[in-house]
Structure 1
Amino acid sequence: MEIAKWTSDIKPKISGFLGKMFGKGDDGLPANVLDSNKAFNIEVALPGLDKKDVKIEVINNYLVISSQKDYSNEEKNANWIRREYGYSSFTRSFRLPESADQDRIDANMKNGILSISVGKKKGYESNIRRIAIA
């Protein structure tokens, strides 16, 4: 008798507008997302990176945060040379909801924390209808 291996790819889901913001390209990079009255605020921990290493773009209604960094280190001594090379990259995408104003996106980075504010469109009312349970 063969025993089947069970695996789960279930990830926690967040409802409402916050759930709509999570999209493709999730490399497991944790992020905090807050839906306030005037904006969506996103915080991403990026330890060891500088703001010049990070790229933020809006592509087809997705807010895309990415970085590619390569490095090398060389030590020389009288009898030996040691060289180390490395490469790291990540991409994290958030699908922007209809209420997001793509022209009002601001970002700053301090102490390894990337903070992004995505303003909401003025006068936008979400189309939410509550259903009564009988």
Structure 2
Amino acid sequence: MKIAKWTTQLKPKITGFFGKMFGNNDESLPVNVADRKSAFNVQVALPGLDKKDVRIEVKNNHLVISSQKDYSKEEKNESWIRREYGYSSFSRSFRLPESADQDKIDAHMKNGILSISVGKKKGSESNIRRIAIA
């Protein structure tokens, strides 16, 4: 019996503003996060997975992306039988900022890329003021 955990060689780090804002807790999945005017956009690379294998939830003000998948393969010949089993799983969560509207979350998946849009609450535009350096 073979037990394998899905991993990736790419381990990007989300640091600075997005790392603090989204409170990422697992760097095992390649993730891109963008702060747009009306929404936060999250893209996750999930090669080899289908959208039916992925679960997206909002729990305790966290966006949770997870998957559990097991598989088996069997080959038979006149004198032998070979069976292989495998299991893979992951879970990644992001703390949603106060400006995120949990009722405006959309997701779609195409070619192994999961795209999630988290809408912003009205009136939550950031007040950014540029300071001149003297």
Aligned residue pairs: how many? 123
Structure 2, unaligned runs of 5 or more: 1-11
Structure index of larger Rg = 1
Identity %: 74
Query: Superposed, which structure 2 residues align to 1:1-134 within 5 Å?
Result: 12=13, 14-17=15-18, 19-24=20-25, 26-126=26-126
Structure 2 distance, partners of 1:99, 1:81, is: 57
| Off by >3 Å, runs of 4+ in structure 1 | 125-134
Structure 1, unaligned runs of 5 or more: 1-10
Structure 2 distance, partners of 1:128, 1:114, is: 30
TM-score when normalising by structure 1? 0.81
State the SS of the aligned residue for 1:123: coil
Structure 2 distance, partners of 1:126, 1:17, is: 14
* Amino acid across the alignment from 2:88: S
Q: Is the 8 A contact 2:37 2:125 kept in 1?
A: no
Structure 1 pair 42–12 and aligned structure 2 pair: CA distance change class (3 A) = closer
Q: Is the 8 A contact 2:57 2:63 kept in 1?
A: yes
Structure 1 distance, partners of 2:54, 2:14, is: 27
TM-score when normalising by structure 2? 0.81
